[in-house]
């Protein structure tokens, strides 16, 4: 049987939120089978639990934010996508996340620090079957037209691949790779995707900060790009780091389903908002998906039965 996974022990991290700039402590704890990923705002007078699902998403401006039932006036947890991406990359099903502020710390701007934290705590198999969401028919969402066109699609596939293409019309970005196809069954998430950092353009900084965003951003946690070049002294971690970060985000955005996916994801210029609309469109069509388990591991897609190696 392909089993659910959680942590063996708890682990902690302290950092700042990239948008709020506030200091935050994160405690990652084991959770029982079928619990899913649950954030707990332990800084509030009465702690509030927010279970991750597609309908809990209440804001998608430059990050994925959740609240109970998706209530925009409720207690929130912001910028969950990098932690969820790491959880997906390691095949984690069940996790409690205690947090002392409304934003997950940005750490180094990628998912690598979260992968390190999760693997340091150890990954435990649980006596319950992993429940995959298998896409049965194609679902697509499109917005805009001409130069403003963007879209995202899920197609049936025995496995989980992501194909993302960007188009920024910017000399520094044009000099990097514009499209990446990644297979989640390859076992290469940690090496090929997790280290890709979030990025931002200097021309957008003033606008973002006027909206209370990007207050914790710096060259320690963001790839900063001016009108012509990458400003970080160390340069890029991958030749195609920009598009790989978009895949990293998409992996996290898809993991809000509460189940690992069996599908081929294709996207052109998509982002957090379009990704969530795609999931809601999928869930609104009961004949477009099914929940499956694998009693015989040999019937699971290649690479899905292996535990990610420890650091």
In terms of C-beta density within 10 A (0-12 exposed, 13-18 middle, 19 or more buried), how is residue 171 classed? Answer: exposed
CA torsion through residues 30, 36, 37, 42, sign: negative
308: left (phi over 0), alpha (psi -120 to 50) or beta: beta
- 261: tokens are 């996916």
Tell me if residue 82 is catalytic: no
**Strands, E, within the chain: which ranges?**
3-7, 11-16, 23-29, 37-41, 48-51, 57-59, 65-66, 95-99, 123-129, 132-135, 139-143, 150-155, 160-165, 179-183, 199-201, 223-225, 261-268, 289-292
- Active site residue: 19, 82, 255, 272, which one? 272
Cα→Cα distances 291→12, 27, 91, 128, Å: 33, 30, 16, 14
Residues 6+ apart with CB under 8 A from 117: 11, 13, 28
Question: What amino acid positions are annotated as catalytic residues?
Answer: 272
């Amino acid at each position: 049987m392909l089993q659910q996974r959680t942590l063996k022990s708890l682990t902690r991290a302290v950092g700042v939120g990239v948008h709020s700039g506030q200091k935050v402590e994160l405690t990652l704890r084991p959770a029982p089978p079928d619990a899913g990923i649950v954030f707990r705002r332990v800084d509030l007078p009465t702690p509030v639990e927010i279970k991750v699902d597609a309908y809990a998403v209440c804001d998608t401006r430059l990050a994925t934010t959740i609240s109970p039932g998706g209530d925009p006036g409720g207690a929130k947890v912001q910028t969950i996508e990098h932690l969820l991406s790491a959880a997906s990359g390691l095949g984690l099903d069940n996790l409690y996340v205690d947090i002392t502020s409304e934003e997950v710390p940005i750490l180094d701007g990628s998912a690598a620090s979260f992968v390190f934290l999760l693997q340091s705590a150890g990954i435990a198999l649980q006596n319950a079957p992993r429940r995959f969401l298998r896409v049965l028919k194609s679902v697509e969402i499109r917005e805009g037209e001409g130069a403003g066109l963007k879209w995202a699609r899920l197609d049936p596939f025995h496995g989980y691949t992501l194909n993302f293409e960007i188009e920024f019309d910017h000399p520094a970005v044009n000099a990097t790779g514009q499209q990446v196809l990644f297979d989640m069954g390859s076992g290469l998430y940690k090496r090929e995707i997790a280290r890709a950092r979030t990025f931002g353009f200097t021309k957008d900084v003033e606008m973002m900060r006027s909206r209370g965003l990007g207050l914790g951003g710096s060259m320690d946690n963001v790839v900063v790009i001016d009108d012509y070049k990458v400003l970080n002294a160390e340069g890029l971690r991958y030749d195609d780091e920009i598009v790989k970060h978009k895949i990293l985000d998409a992996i996290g955005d898809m993991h809000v389903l509460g189940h690992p996916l069996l599908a081929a994801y294709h996207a052109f210029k998509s982002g957090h908002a379009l990704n969530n609309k795609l999931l809601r469109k999928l869930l609104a069509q009961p004949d477009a998906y099914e929940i499956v388990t694998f009693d015989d591991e040999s019937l699971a897609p290649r690479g899905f039965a292996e535990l990610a190696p420890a650091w």
